[in-house]
Structure 1
Amino acid sequence: MKVITPAAYFTDLTYSDYALLDVRSPGEFTQGKLPRAQSLPLFSDAERAEVGTLYKRTGQDEALLRGLEIAGGKMRWLVEEARRLCPSGKVVVHCWRGGQRSGSVSWLLEKAGLEVTQMSGGYKAARQYIRTYFAECPHRFRVLSGPTGSGKTPVLLAMALRGANIIDLEGIANHKGSAFGGIGELPQPSSEEFENQVFAQLNRLPKGATVWLEDESRLIGRVFLSEEFYQRLVDAPVVELQQPIEWRVDRLVDLYGAYPTEELAAAFSRIRKKLGGQNLNLAIEALENGDIATAARVALVYYDKAYAYYGERRNANIVETIVAGSPVAASVAKQILSVAYGE
């Protein structure tokens, strides 16, 4: 049986057609999984907790025996499921630290005729590799900034259609980055899973590629950007997008106008302290009257102040200021790329 480090796995194209099997419990897998990993749990969450409790109370021997007892009844399922997940018969197996769980499953799958490689250090070592990757990222980041309602995400997506490399951080986080950002979105991933997904997209790009990202604070909803990644974002050159407030208001109306008044009102209540009671009442009244545009203008009073304060504190390296010539994302994308690359 071969052994591979996480660094070698993520950089050696030989393993691009290997199935990556994660034998940790379903709960561990949900908290954070490696790119392309598929779940092949040796233990359920309850079984893992039971074995772990035995290890703490009575020692390794009792825990090992109980683990073998549980795993013994799953051997056929593990082989059949592994064959289903990887028709090529080539697999890389990992657990938390590259220890007993992945070792035992690797042994079983090899006996069943699969070509097996075990990932040394397991998920823990792979996570350390990902954090180091962010700190020493081989790509050149460029950040698109602009006040709330500027349509930065649609512009980035339009830039991608024109061939630019982009990472849609808010799309990965399932959140638009404000008190209103979770409305209409799927549940957010853990911060750990968010990092894994960002890494997966970056790792597919050639070294030295320019990658465009949206300007973000340290928090995107409940997703927390790691120090390593956030520092790269802060240090990157910034292109700032400016446009009339009317376009921004119209965009917010299009984006949020169809959602229930109760959800919008709850979002306004979450920024009550910074918005002020009078502005909050004005916004709620506007929502109740179906006047989404007025409510949006009230929100922008706060968010424009927050954007200005964040800009001063961040001390961004603004290399270009683009005054949008159109509210259409495709036109703005063309404008930005023309300035950035002379297209």
Structure 2
Amino acid sequence: MIKNITVQEFFNLTTMVALADVRTPAEYQHGHVPGAFNLPLFSNEERVLVGTTYKQIGREQAILLGFDLTGPKWSGFIQDALLMAPGKKIGVHCWRGGMRSGAMAWALDLYGFEVYLIEGGYKHYRRWVLNQFEKPYHLLTLGGMTGSGKTRILQEMEMSGAQMIDLENLAQHQGSSFGSMNKMLQPTQEQFENNLAAKLNNLNHDRSIWVEDESHNIGKLSVPNAFWDQMTSAVLIDLKVELDQRVSALVKEYGQLDKDFLVACTERIGKRLGPVQTRQAVEAIREDRMEAFIRLVLVYYDKSYRNSLIRRNSDQVFSMKLTGDPMKNTAEQILEFINTIPAGRI
């Protein structure tokens, strides 16, 4: 049985159903529904060939060529689908809900699958993704100077029951010039948006959602404008952590990284850091004086953070000094602090 279904209806299904993306591997890699698996009807090269035939000769010849190309593959398609959906319930989509997904749905239905055919395909899904960022959310933003432990604190808060979106994890980047940590590979902008939309869809919109105070750009990626606007207008809890504690935390986090990587990252912010400070920071890296290096670059990052606070509505910024180790037992402190803010201000 084939059932036509919207994107939202598919996500609202009460049981988990595997989702097959029958577009080419290149299309899938550029951006896909989180959790979907690739079951490409055509290879990248075959897709180009069919498209060219469609444009230059016509639809019927393109269909015949498609059958010629896929003829030997159908058994493999079904076997791959069985691996991912052994219960024989599966969702299928292509780019626009056209011939590719229709052909795959027909074959799977013929074999005995219960098939959910996504109306409008990936194109409608992308429209759904962008709509998620337009929805109103009750955001709370956790800020603080570099080294305040914001990400780890948010993770602790999530374990305590708070809702949280880790934008840096979704972007695979920690935000600064050093943010790739010399190992993280960022997704495409499209995939970042898809992952963020999926996270938002899975949260309870009647409850507060915590996010870290981020720049608009996280590495090479950008936070979607509509969601970014909500972040910048949300209440911000500005954590106050002693400089020595921040330096110590950053030395542990960055001190073991490759020196050439640290030098290259430092030189990228050389104009903003200043020629003297850049030279001193590079020398400190080369001489393994990591505390001195951290203190030098923090001058720049602390100034940038202070400037970002100035641009915010002061009525929405609440400072909170953490007591003790900022990496431990902070969730309760912050959640208690939130309860002290007047209801009309949050």
TM-score bracket for the superposition, by shorter chain length: over 0.9
Unaligned runs of 5+ in 1: none
In the aligned structure 2, how far is the partner of 1:176 from the partner of 1:316?
26
In the alignment, what sits opposite 2:53? 54
In the alignment, what sits opposite 1:222? 220
**Preserved contact between residue 182 and residue 261 of structure 2 (Cα < 8 Å):** no
Residue 275 (structure 1) aligned with residue 273 (structure 2): yes
* 1:194-230 deviations in Å (ceiling 9; x for gaps): 1211222222222312111101111111112221221
In the aligned structure 2, how far is the partner of 1:268 from the partner of 1:319?
30
Root-mean-square deviation over aligned CA pairs:
1.6
In the alignment, what sits opposite 2:343? none
In the alignment, what sits opposite 1:196? 194
**AA matched with 2:56:** R
Offset at residue 184 of structure 1 (A): 3.7
Residue 320 (structure 1) aligned with residue 318 (structure 2): yes
Could you state the TM-score of these two structures normalised by the residue count of structure 1? 0.94
In the alignment, what sits opposite 1:125? 124
* 1:277-308 deviations in Å (ceiling 9; x for gaps): 11100001111111111111111111112112
In the aligned structure 1, how far is the partner of 2:205 from the partner of 2:107?
38
**AA matched with 1:13:** L
**AA matched with 1:229:** F
In the aligned structure 2, how far is the partner of 1:53 from the partner of 1:148?
52
Offset at residue 317 of structure 1 (A): 5.6
Could you state the TM-score of these two structures normalised by the residue count of structure 2? 0.93
In the alignment, what sits opposite 1:4? 5
Query: What secondary structure does 1:130 align onto?
Result: helix
- Aligned pairs, number: 339
In the aligned structure 2, how far is the partner of 1:47 from the partner of 1:268?
45
In the alignment, what sits opposite 2:145? 147
Matches within 5 A, 1:90-169: 90-137=89-136, 139-169=137-167
In the aligned structure 2, how far is the partner of 1:36 from the partner of 1:317?
41
**AA matched with 2:211:** L
Unaligned runs of 5+ in 2: 341-346
**AA matched with 1:221:** G
Offset at residue 319 of structure 1 (A): 4.2
Percent identity over paired residues: 39
In the alignment, what sits opposite 1:35? 34
Offset at residue 315 of structure 1 (A): 4.1
Q: Which moved more, 1:221-230 or 1:168-177?
A: 221-230
Matches within 5 A, 1:292-307: 292-307=290-305
**AA matched with 1:75:** W
Offset at residue 237 of structure 1 (A): 1.6
* 1:282/1:200 CA distance change after superposition, 3 Å: same
In the aligned structure 2, how far is the partner of 1:233 from the partner of 1:111?
49
**Preserved contact between residue 132 and residue 200 of structure 2 (Cα < 8 Å):** no
**AA matched with 1:232:** Q
